[in-house]
Amino acid sequence: MKTAIVSAMHEELGAVLALMPDERRQPVAGRDFYVGHLHGRDVVAVLSRIGKVAAATTATVLIERFGVDRIVFTGVAGGLRHGVERGHVVVADNFLQHDLDATPIFPRYEVPLYGRSRFDTDPALTHRLAGAVRKALPGTTLHRGLIASGDRFVSTTAESRALQLALPDALAVEMEGAAVAQVCHDYGVPFAAVRTISDRADDDATGDFLQFIRDVASRHTAAIVEAFLSA
Ligand code: ADE
């Protein structure tokens, strides 16, 4: 069983690599894949890179070249729904691309030729990931549900409000998850994703974003990944 740990930010990947005693770097498609062990389990750790296309390429290489059996994504996201606040954690049940619009040929958000707009994560893997979050970060508020992905860093209150109105059940917004979910759907590879909320996707979103990733998100990622692989 080979597990891919895909991180959105350098700081998070660094925290994962610090847990791997024997990783070897293998460059493919301009990306560095780190093959080794974590808690004695076969792991490939890699940066997703930012945006849907970059993340889809990373996921495809993980499956085609490295033969991973499952993909776990860790990163940060902007909180959308009321009550999803900075420092909370969201584990995704499904993903949607909020910037996909092939209307009037296809319904809004629907991925053409798939007949659907939402791609589910794997229920068993997601259950296990949520358990790892509870174990690793006791006392942290954990949400489960829909995450919206798009090729935009949402950093105005106006856009955040528009997304909340259009997608009232979306908990959070980020830039990669729906792409990885679609690739995993295509290949039948189980996928789970966890995001720490770094901002509220509003006019204050860019404030101390990088500081938050260094101080909080990378520690969350390391603790969650360790709990997940030791379970
Ligand atoms: N990742 C973290 N915060 C985000 C935001 N506000 N928009 C898109 N992706 C994000």
**Model confidence over 5-26: pLDDT tens digits?**
999 889 899 999 999 999 999 9
Asked if 110 is an active-site residue, the reply is: no
Cis peptide upstream of residue 104 (ω within 30 degrees of 0): yes
Domain count, the chain: 1
Asked if 12 is an active-site residue, the reply is: yes
Distance 197 CA to ligand 1 centre (A): 9
Digit-coded pLDDT (tens) for 85-97: 999 999 999 999 9
Decide: 154 in ligand 1 pocket, CB within 6 A.
yes
Distance 76 CA to ligand 1 centre (A): 7
Given a cut of 90, whether residue 47 has pLDDT beyond it is yes
How far apart CA 192 and CA 184 sit, in angstroms, is 10
Digit-coded pLDDT (tens) for 164-177: 999 999 999 999 99
pLDDT of residue 231: 80
Given a cut of 80, whether residue 179 has pLDDT beyond it is yes
Residue type, 51: G
Neighbour-count burial of 74, counting CB atoms closer than 10 A to its CB (0-12 exposed, 13-18 middle, 19+ buried): buried
pLDDT of residue 146: 98
Digit-coded pLDDT (tens) for 106-144: 999 999 999 999 999 999 999 999 999 999 999 999 999
Decide: 173 in ligand 1 pocket, CB within 6 A.
yes
Neighbour-count burial of 38, counting CB atoms closer than 10 A to its CB (0-12 exposed, 13-18 middle, 19+ buried): buried
> Residue 22 maps to which CATH number?
3.40.50.1580
pLDDT of residue 193: 98
Largest interatomic CA distance in the chain = 53
Nearest alpha-carbon partner for 91 in 71, 110, 74: 74
pLDDT of residue 114: 97
Q: Mean of the pLDDT values across residues 170-187?
A: 98
pLDDT of residue 208: 75
pLDDT of residue 29: 98
Q: Which atom of ligand 1 is nearest to the CA of 175?
A: 9
pLDDT of residue 186: 98
Give the domain extent around 143: 2-230
- Specify the residue with its C-alpha closest to ligand 1, atom 4: 78
Q: How confident is the model at residue 82 (pLDDT cuts 50, 70, 90)?
A: very high
Could you give the percent of the chain with pLDDT greater than 90? 90
pLDDT of residue 171: 98
Given a cut of 80, whether residue 230 has pLDDT beyond it is yes
Residue type, 191: F
**Ligand 1 pocket mutation, candidates 80, 84, 173, criterion most atoms within 8 A of CB:** 173
Decide: 149 in ligand 1 pocket, CB within 6 A.
no
Q: Mean of the pLDDT values across residues 205-231?
A: 87
